[in-house]
Amino acid sequence: MDRARTAAAPAEAPAAHRTGVAVEHAEQRPPSDGEAVFAVRDLTVSYGSNPAIVDVTMEIRRGEITALIGPSGCGKSTFIRCFNRMNDLIPTARVRGEITYHGVDLYGKGVDPVEVRRRVGMVFQKPNPFPKSIADNITFGPKVTGMKFDPDEIVERSLKRAALWDEVRNKLDDSAYSLSGGQQQRLCIARAIAVDPDVILMDEPCSALDPIATGRIEDLMRELQERYTIIIVTHNMQQAARVSDRTAFFTAEVESEENDHRFGRLVEYDLTENIFKNPQDSRTEDYVTGRFG
């Protein structure tokens, strides 16, 4: 228990350096009673005959930031890609069980993955802006989804919400590749915001960024939380502790010793504070205190 506290303590220190706002947020974190945006029941995803994640049941609540943590190979990236049917793009992927989105079966007959992705945006591990101008990156989503929009307005609004406007307002026609990694990632967030999604999925959005850029993204997530439900996969436990309201901890279990194939399983899902300060499962405690993983 003692070690759990020391592990969580340094997590808050950098936030305090940065703005002070983040700490305020952290203290105010309301255990929201928001309705469930997603309800996952007995979800299993396999690639071919290899399961990647098994029997997950959990709910994602509106307006919260939910962090998915766990060691490599625990299937958290596979899992987060179920929420916008990104796994459909992998021919061998098979999804069993159920995910409902506002009560609608996400994998039900007649559900168009394209429509799902218009409501459930995604930010990826590596900043991946299109090789186009900054403004064109923002307007791509509205264009392909057939929204009626004023380009100048949507560019400005999205960039402002992604806290990037002041840095790029004078070079909107420059290539997105002229930006730094952190700026590119905020551009990707702005791009996701431009189609006005309901949920934003973030798959290790800071793993390619330096600590300062990471801090900015984390602050940004806190601001975005007011409008969007956010699910974030992270390797970084301090990050989960800093930004999320709830945390789900997954483990990787070895399927068979021969091929060393691993699959993930949900161990514990609770308010972030409880996961880090008072975990119920010893495996969670081992992981968050750094004894394993």
Interface contacts to other proteins, rule CB under 8 A: 84, 86, 89, 91, 114-115, 117-118, 121-122, 124, 126, 128-132, 140-141, 143-145, 177, 188, 191-192, 195
Nearer residue to other proteins within complex by CB, 87 or 284: 87
Nearer residue to other proteins within complex by CB, 144 or 254: 144
Please count the helices (runs of H) and the strands (runs of E) in the chain.
Answer: 12, 10
Distance CA 49, CA 148 (A): 44
Smallest distance from other proteins to CB 106, Å: 15
Smallest distance from other proteins to CB 166, Å: 24
Nearer residue to other proteins within complex by CB, 132 or 277: 132
Smallest distance from other proteins to CB 143, Å: 8
Burial 63-89 (b: 16+ CB within 10 A, else e): bbbbbbbbbebbbbbbbbbbbbbbbbe
Smallest distance from other proteins to CB 151, Å: 15
Task: Give the closest residue to 289 by CA, choosing from 246, 241, 254.
Answer: 241
Residues in CB range of 140: below 8 A, 6 or more apart: 130, 132, 191, 194
Nearer residue to other proteins within complex by CB, 47 or 130: 130
Provide the edge-to-edge strand list for the sheet that holds 246-256.
Answer: 104-105, 93-101, 36-47, 50-61, 261-271, 246-256, 65-69, 229-233, 199-203, 120-123
Distance CA 136, CA 133 (A): 5
Q: Strands 50-61 and 36-47, how do they pair? A: antiparallel
Smallest distance from other proteins to CB 260, Å: 25
Smallest distance from other proteins to CB 30, Å: 29
Nearer residue to other proteins within complex by CB, 57 or 128: 128
Nearer residue to other proteins within complex by CB, 19 or 207: 207
Distance CA 286, CA 145 (A): 45
- What's the first-to-final CA gap in the chain, in angstroms? 18
Nearer residue to other proteins within complex by CB, 138 or 241: 138
Smallest distance from other proteins to CB 77, Å: 12
Beta bridge partners of 100: 39, 105
